[in-house]
Amino acid sequence: MIKRKLSALLLIFLLFLVFAACSNDDKTSTNENKDVQNDTNSEEQNGEVDRTPVTYTYFNAAVPGKDIESNTTRIGKILEDKTGVNFKLEHIVGDLNTKIGVMVASDDYPDVVIPDAAIDTMLEAGAFIPLNDLLEEHGPDILAAYGPYLDRFTMDDGNIYYLPFGADVNEFIPNPNIDQGAFWIQRGILKEYGFPEIKTLDEYFEIIERYASENPQIEGMNVIPFSGLTYDWRFFAFSNIPNHLAGYPNDGGVMVDMDTHEASVFADSEHAKRWLKTVNDLNAKGLLDKELFVANYDEYISKLSSGRVLGFFDYGWQFADAITALRDAGNPDREFMALPIVFDENIKDQYLDPPAFVGNRGAGITVDAENPERIIQYWNELVKEDMQKLVFWGFEDEHYSVDENGRFYRTQEQIELAQNEVEREKVGMKTFEWNWPRINGSFSDGNAVEPRRQPEVALATYTEADKEYLDAYGIKTFSELFSAPDDRPWYPAWSANMEQGSDSQIFQERADQIIRLHYAKIALAKPADFEKEWNDFVKAYRALDVDSYEQFYTDVVQARVRGEW
C-alpha cells in the first residue's frame, strides 16, 4: 500500500526532479502531432497504453459551466491521441447537496465526480474506488508531483480516494494581483475623491455612502452601494468577513492563535457581531443590496457586471466573469479595485494566502467506472510539465513567446488572445486549468505555472487606466497594497479531513444551517431588534457542541505545526 511505500515514492520524486532539471532547455512544440509522437514513444515501445477510443463521464459539482467533450478542444485532442480517452464534461445545475444526494440514493454515478463540499457524502457512501495501486502502476508523474503531499489526502484506512487540484512544485510564486478575499470598490470612486488611502471598515463605507448620495444612478441604473455573495455553499463569502476584518486569513470556521496554535470559532464572536451591526446599519440606511440573501450566483455576477455595484466583499476567483465583462464594457473607472480593509488601524491585514495545499477537495473515480486505469493514464499525461505548459500558457508563438533567457512573456496581442473566452475554450485552457489534477508553483525552467503569476505577464496586462491607479498609490502591482502573509505551516486549517458522523462534522453541518438562517435575520432586522436577533443566534449556536469543533481544529493545527499531517 502507498503508506508503506513512501520511501519508493520519494525516490520517484527525486528522479523526477533530476529529469526535470536536465530538461530546462526543452520547449513545447506547436506541432501537436509531433508532441504526441515524442511523448509516447517509450510507452508505445513497452506496449503499456491501450489507445482504444473510450469516453468517460466527468461530473463537476463544484462550479457551473459549459458541458462539452474534452476532445473538442486542442489540448483534449492531444490527450486523446496519447491515451485514447475522451471525457464528456457535465456541470452542476441546482443545489449541490441535492444533486450528490440523488446520486448516492440511486447508487448511480458518473465515472468521475468532483463533489466539492459534498465529498464526505461520496466517501461515506463508498462511491469512490481506492487509487493506491492504480497510481503506483499507471501514475508515476502524478506521484512525483504529489509525493510530498500524499499523507495529506490519504484516509485513515490507508487509501487515497481522490486527487486534489494542485501540488506545489519547485518555487512558490505569489500572485501580483488579488484572486483571494478582499473588499472591492468601484475604482472610479477612488479617483473622484483624490485616491484616498482607505484601511478601516468605517472609512470604506463612508466613501461609498458619500458617492451613492452624490451619484444615486449610473447610466440610468440605480446604484447598489454594497452587495455580496450568499448563494448556496458560497455563503462563506459573507460569513468569513469578520474573520478577515479582524486580521486573519481564511482558515475556515476558526481563527488560529499564532502563539498557542489554538483554534476558536468566530461566528458568534464580537468580531462577527460588529460586522453584522455594520450590515444592519447599512440596511437601515438603504445602502444594502435588497437581494443580498436571495440572489443566486448568476444574478450576483450579472449585478457586478452591470457597473452599478459600488462595493462588495468576495474572493477574486469567484467573479472572474464579471471582471472580464466590465473590462470589455470599456469604462475602466467602473472596474473594481481590491482593498485590505480591517476593523481598526492597528490591525495587520492577512488577506493574502501563504503557500498552501488543499487536500480535502478533489476528483474521484467512482465504482461505476470501467477500466479506471485508463483515467489514471490520462491524468498522468495531463500533469506532465509539457502538458501543463499547454494548459496554462497555450501554444508557443501563438499564446506566448520565450525570450533569450528562457523567460515566458506575452505580447499585447497574445494577452488579448489568451484572455479571449472563445479562444480559451477552443484550445482547452479554460477546460483544464482547474478541477483536474495539476501543479502549482513553477516549472523546472523557473517560469511560473500560471501566467498571472509571471511578473512579465502581470505588468504587460496592465492598461493605461490600471497604471493610473497603480501610480496614484505608488505601487507596481495591485497586491502591494496588502500585507505579506505570515508563516502558517498548518494553512489552511479547513483542508483537514473531517470524519463523516463525527461530533465536529455534525457541528459544522448544523452550524452552517444556523448561521445562514440567523445572519440574514440579524442583518435585515429593525435596528431596535438587532440585540434580540443576535442573542437568539448565539443561543442556538452555543446549543451545539462548539468545544469538540474547536478541539478538532486545535489538534489539526498543532499536529501540522509538528510536521504531522
pLDDT (tens digit per residue) in 36-85: 434 444 454 455 678 999 999 999 999 888 999 999 999 999 999 999 99
- pLDDT at position 22 over 70: no
C-beta of residue 284 within 8 angstroms of C-beta of residue 527:
yes
- pLDDT at position 386 over 60: yes
How large is the average pLDDT for residues 176-198?
97
Q: Quote the mean pLDDT of the chain.
A: 91
Residues ≥6 apart with Cβ < 8 Å to 160: 2, 130, 131, 132, 135, 150, 153, 154
Q: How many CB atoms lie within 10 A of CB 536?
A: 15
The whole model's pTM is what?
0.74
- Concatenating the DSSP letter of every residue in 266-335 gives -TTSHHHHHHHHHHHHHHHTT-B-TTTTT--HHHHHHHHHHT-EEEEEEEGGG-HHHHHHHHHHT-GGGS
Share of the chain above pLDDT 70, in %: 92
pLDDT digits (tens, 9 = 90+) for 206-216: 999 999 999 99
- pLDDT at position 7 over 70: no
Element at 358 (helix H, strand E): none
C-beta of residue 337 within 8 angstroms of C-beta of residue 469:
yes
Q: At what angle do helices 546-561 and 503-524 cross, to 10 degrees?
A: 110
- Written as one letter, the residue type at 61 is A
C-beta of residue 74 within 8 angstroms of C-beta of residue 32:
yes
C-alpha cell at 476: 507596481
- pLDDT at position 289 over 80: yes
C-alpha cell at 332: 475602466
Q: How many CB atoms lie within 10 A of CB 502?
A: 14
Phi, psi torsion values for 525, nearest 5 degrees: -70, 155
In this prediction, residue 24 carries a pLDDT of 43
Residue owning grid cell 436577533: 533
Burial of 337 (0-12, 13-18, 19+ CB in 10 A): buried
C-alpha cell at 474: 505608488
- Interatomic CA distance for residues 549 and 32, integer angstroms: 51
- Of 109, 564, 160, residue with least CA distance to 359: 160
- Interatomic CA distance for residues 88 and 104, integer angstroms: 20
pLDDT digits (tens, 9 = 90+) for 395-412: 999 999 999 999 999 999
- Interatomic CA distance for residues 369 and 130, integer angstroms: 12
How large is the average pLDDT for residues 283-305?
97
- pLDDT at position 11 over 70: no
DSSP letter assigned to residue 85: E
- Interatomic CA distance for residues 335 and 326, integer angstroms: 6
